[in-house]
Amino acid sequence: MKNPMIMTPGPTGVRENVRFARAIETTNPDLDGRFYDFYKETCEKIAKMLKTKNEVRVLSGEGILGLEAACASLTEKGDRVLIIENGIFGEGFADFVKLYGGDPFFFRGDRKHKINVEELKKFLDKDSDFKYATVVHCDTPSGMLNDIDEICPLLKERGILTVVDSVAAMGGEDINVDEWKIDIALGGSQKCISAPPGLTLVSISEAAFKAMESRKTPIASFYCNLLAWKTYYEDKWFPYTPPISDIVGLKVAVENLLEDSDIILRHDKIASATRAAVVYAGLDLYIKDGFSNTVTVIQVPHGIDDKKVRDYMVNNYNVMIAGSFGYLEGRVFRIGHMGEGARIEKVSYALFALQKSLEHYGVKFNHDMSKTFLEKF
């Protein structure tokens, strides 16, 4: 049987031209000066996607590397760091802060609602003595989208550096790094960008670099040291050998995205139609607001084993969707409509397969999800 159609919230399907690009003959990326130009051009294309004049780097490691690298590079012993969280990945930033000697302080939101900016403002009015703050753009396990366009400027008004995990949003949701005052924006190759897993995308402001340079103690990592990348082009030196084939493929994937002028609108329309189809059919969405345009999270009907349903989908319809983990394990289904998965025919078929699989286990529906999706789109 051929590989299933991947409709998970990352990794996503990879377009043929990206796969072919990764197969071309490559050079020695450490010694060939042409690759430094190629790498720089790739970073500039990513910067265009992020609407930033900040420096951009591509790191060899899945998106979690970026989260740790940001914390490793900024955190010194005793630094107070604000963790803005309303989901699993938001909370997880605290582990990295503690790992590098910092003291995390939480602003906790309701996990079924996006971060309340007015409540955050009240919190900051009482205490804003933080070196930097972390916030998740899209929390993949729950499908929650936070208003980083409001949160980050609010933090910067108080002199707090901003670190944004946009791994599950970058490329499928609008992001304006400069206008929204994001000091470090983090993305991953395997989500909306639709390249294979294994690369982190990171934009770094001059203020963030300055904070790293003015540390009293050295950054307690080599692989997670963002400062080591600052003058790579001038020095013609990479901290470690770049995975050249992966980066060649990434450049093509980013070009695919930049050439698609309607990509953000398409994600928005597909997500809205998906949510409408799910609700109209009688299923429940997990969150109440802050709906992401890259992933829809659906509550598992009472008495249903989510893994059995997902296995049935793969075995009988050759479609793979995801469950979740942590406090959401066994409680939700996740349909990824991001990047190459944000296609009408793919989402329509995934909804058809999910409905048929749930019906196999006795779930009754009010309406046909696939038909409603196409009508709403």
Supply 251's token pair.
């450049």
Q: Which structural domains are found in the chain, ordered by start?
A: 16-259 (3.40.640.10), 261-376 (3.90.1150.10)
Q: pTM for the complete prediction? A: 0.97
Identity of the amino acid at 49: M
Among 362, 140, 359, which residue's Cα sits nearest to residue 370?
A: 359
Q: What is the DSSP letter of 286?
A: S
pLDDT tens across 36-78, in order?
999 999 999 999 999 999 999 999 999 999 999 999 999 999 9
Q: What is the distance between the alpha carbons of residues 212 and 133, in angstroms, rounded to a whole number?
A: 15
C-beta of residue 142 within 8 angstroms of C-beta of residue 87: yes
Each of the 377 residues of the chain gets a pLDDT tens digit; together they read 589 999 999 999 999 999 999 999 999 999 999 999 999 999 999 999 999 999 999 999 999 999 999 999 999 999 999 999 999 999 999 999 999 999 999 999 999 999 999 999 999 999 999 999 999 999 999 999 999 999 999 999 999 999 999 999 999 999 999 999 999 999 999 999 999 999 999 999 999 999 999 999 999 999 999 999 999 999 999 999 999 999 999 999 999 999 999 999 999 999 999 999 999 999 999 999 999 999 999 999 999 999 999 999 999 999 999 999 999 999 999 999 999 999 999 999 999 999 999 999 999 999 999 999 999 98
β-bridge pairing 5-6 and 199-204: unpaired
Q: Residue 32 burial by CB count (10 A; 0-12/13-18/19+): exposed, middle or buried?
A: middle
